[in-house]
Amino acid sequence: MLSIKQLNFAYKKKKITYEVFDGLDISFNKGFNVVIGPNGAGKSTLLKAIFGLLDCDGQVIYKGKNIMHMNVREKTDLMAYLPQMDVDVSSLTVMEMVLLGQLPDLNYRIKAEDMDRVMEILEALNIEALAMRNFAELSGGQKKLVFIAQTLVREPKLILMDEPVNSLDLRKQLELCHLIRKIVKDKQIDFIVVLHDINLAARYAHHLVVLDGKGKCYASGTAKAVITREMLKSVYGVQANIVLDNQGIPIISPIDAFTL
């Protein structure tokens, strides 16, 4: 679906250079891809690089085309990107906020199908009751769901999400991951999502990518293949027990921390 070839990137501040990626090679599959790894491994940076927000060396290839050579309109037609940043103040209603997600395809006069699409997404996220609420009045978790709805309503070919479950309660986390799986199946939209929760990633991802914190991809594949005691020790510095549930999904129980 999407592949990254020999990606190099470093943050530079004054005379200090912090290398994030050193010849990074990754292949993502169709479906629900999840990127995991320790703090500082470059997970958020990777999404920014894919979306073209950073000046990187290397290639980001989607169906034979280098995304780095696309113009802004081509990128926004292909992808939607939901960063971690939230906006605290807005005078718009939830309905209006989600409608804005369809820009620049909205006409001067809003069509009935535009409104129907918004309500369909709000209902899928179980927040249709918030449609006429002022966005500024919402809780942090509710705002996060509105931003997610704003991203989903566009129906691009690829959606990038950076920690979308942050500030969501356990039920909403599960509902969101279930919704992503449903969208993949029904709409044929692919996702690359950064998650910290390894158990959540193991349960819902079709394909996992592990960044090792040293500028490389440690492993990629199914949860059962990728999530091993050795990976948890080498990448996270954690001793853990791993058991498989009745669906063959790994469940991780951390025991102790190692010094890396």
Name 172's Cβ contacts closer than 8 Å, sequence gap at least 6: 141, 145, 165
What is the pTM for the complete model shown? 0.87
Q: What is the pLDDT of residues 154-207, one digit of tens each?
A: 778 999 999 988 878 898 899 889 989 988 998 899 999 999 999 999 999 999
Phi-psi region of 168 (alpha: psi -120 to 50; beta: other; left: phi over 0): beta
Q: What is the mean pLDDT of each run of 10 residues along the chain (260 residues)?
A: 93 83 94 96 94 90 89 86 69 85 59 82 89 87 84 86 88 89 90 96 97 92 96 95 94 85
Q: What confidence score (pLDDT) does residue 105 get?
A: 54
- The answer to whether 239 and 254 have CB atoms below 8 angstroms apart is yes
Strands 57-62 and 2-13 come out as antiparallel
CA–CA separation, 178 and 157 (whole Å): 18
- Measuring CA to CA, which residue among 167, 153, 157 is closest to residue 115? 153
Taking the C-alpha atoms of 147, 81, 117 and 88 in order, what is their torsion angle to the nearest 10 degrees?
20
Q: What confidence score (pLDDT) does residue 260 get?
A: 56
CA–CA separation, 253 and 117 (whole Å): 40
CATH number for 2-257: choose from 3.40.640.10, 3.40.50.1000, 3.40.50.620, 3.40.50.300: 3.40.50.300
Q: What confidence score (pLDDT) does residue 244 get?
A: 94
